[in-house]
Amino acid sequence: MEENKRIMNFRPEIKILDATLRDGGLVNNFYFTDEFVRDLYKANVKAGVDYMEFGYKASKEIFDVDKFGKWKFCNEDDIRDIVGDNVSDLKISIMADVGRCDYKNDIVNRSDSAVDMVRVATYINTMPAAIEMIEDANRKGYETTCNIMAISNANETDIDIALEMLGKSCVDGIYIVDSYGSIYPEQMRVIADKYVEVGEKYGKEIGIHAHNNQQLAFANTIESVSRGVNFLDATMSSMGRGAGNCAMELLLGFLKNPKYNLFPVLQFIEKHIVKLQQEGVVWGYDIPYLLTGRLNQHPSAAIDFTKEKRKDYSEFYQWLLERE
């Protein structure tokens, strides 16, 4: 009864972040048409989505601007071109990777920017650099989150230390990131409890960014919700690296918050996502991703296997096992 009662209810604190351009951009090197981005923005506004991530703020010293679409760099003008003065309740975020972002120069003051939130992505061993970036963004007036990647490969003591560092920092939110899609719901609940405990102690929001290697991105996301995680990443039809992410359409179907509306998302998918898929852009659950996820490995080998249209799963599995 308790559980049934909960499922009939909703938490107004819940926020959905659409990461289609950012994680989906990893699939097509950020080459989205302007029409795609404009319609995505409109769909998110209509659907009641809380944040839309436009992409990365990547260093133009490190990455060649001619080899990627513009959403790897998220120039102010390009965002403005889509959102104008962003007269809506939808906030705008960008992601900044530790070591791959000239944040001091490239991230301007919030008062001069269309962006509301800067999400800093880091591995556990670069926490001090991440915190410097967070402090910089915070000083410039942005909401900030820290997304600690690949925690399934980090040791627990290190995670505890990182969470304490973040707790004491000026960051607004801390994200659980299941980069390899290797975490099962019963493990996710333990992780969520740990993060939420720190969040409650220091007044930080906790978020989740899941991958679908074992068809658990949606399940892990809604399990986290039941443990107090409020910031939920999703992408249209799961579009994201490898097996993709938690599907926006599944998440909106689940959440009972009356402000959310599935309909514009379905319209966006039938207009744009179906087309991408027909053009041969590939992502989503498949056996190679299950295998890397199950072995808690980076999906890169599975991405290559899929690109080559190989189907010799048993050979691939043996190869993965041997290199462990």
Q: Which is nearer to a second copy, 172 or 249 (CB)?
A: 249
Least Å distance, CB 187 to a second copy, is 6
Instruction: Indicate which single residue of 226, 300, 304, 319 sits in contact with a second copy (rule: CB under 8 A).
Output: 226
Determine if 109 is a binding residue for a second copy (CB under 8 A): no
Does 297 help bind a second copy (rule: CB under 8 A)?
no
Bridge partners (DSSP) listed for residue 207? 175, 231
CB of residue 269 vs a second copy: minimum separation in angstroms? 6
Q: Does 317 bind a second copy (CB under 8 A)?
A: yes
For the bound state, the minimum distance from the C-beta of residue 184 to a second copy, rounded and expressed in Å, comes to 6
Q: Which of 10, 31, 63, 313 binds a second copy (CB under 8 A)?
A: 313
Q: Which of residues 242-281 bind a second copy (CB under 8 A)?
A: 247, 249-250, 253-254, 262-263, 266-267, 269-270, 274
Q: Which of residues 1-30 bind a second copy (CB under 8 A)?
A: 1, 3-4, 6-7
237 makes contact with a second copy (CB under 8 A): yes
Here the tokens at position 234 are 């999703």
How many C-beta atoms surround the C-beta of residue 79 within 10 A?
Answer: 23
Q: How many residues bind a second copy (CB under 8 A)?
A: 45
Which residue in this structure is represented by tokens 């403005």? Answer: 80
Closest separation in Å from C-beta 7 to a second copy:
6
In the set 215, 257, 261, 296, which binds a second copy (CB under 8 A)? 215
Q: Kindly state the smallest distance separating residue 34's Cβ from a second copy, in Å.
A: 22
Q: Which is nearer to a second copy, 2 or 85 (CB)?
A: 2
Of residues 152, 153, 187, 257, which one binds a second copy by CB under 8 A?
187
**Residues making contact with a second copy (CB under 8 A):** 1, 3-4, 6-7, 184-187, 189-190, 212, 214-219, 222-223, 226, 237, 247, 249-250, 253-254, 262-263, 266-267, 269-270, 274, 285, 287, 290-291, 294, 311-314, 317-318
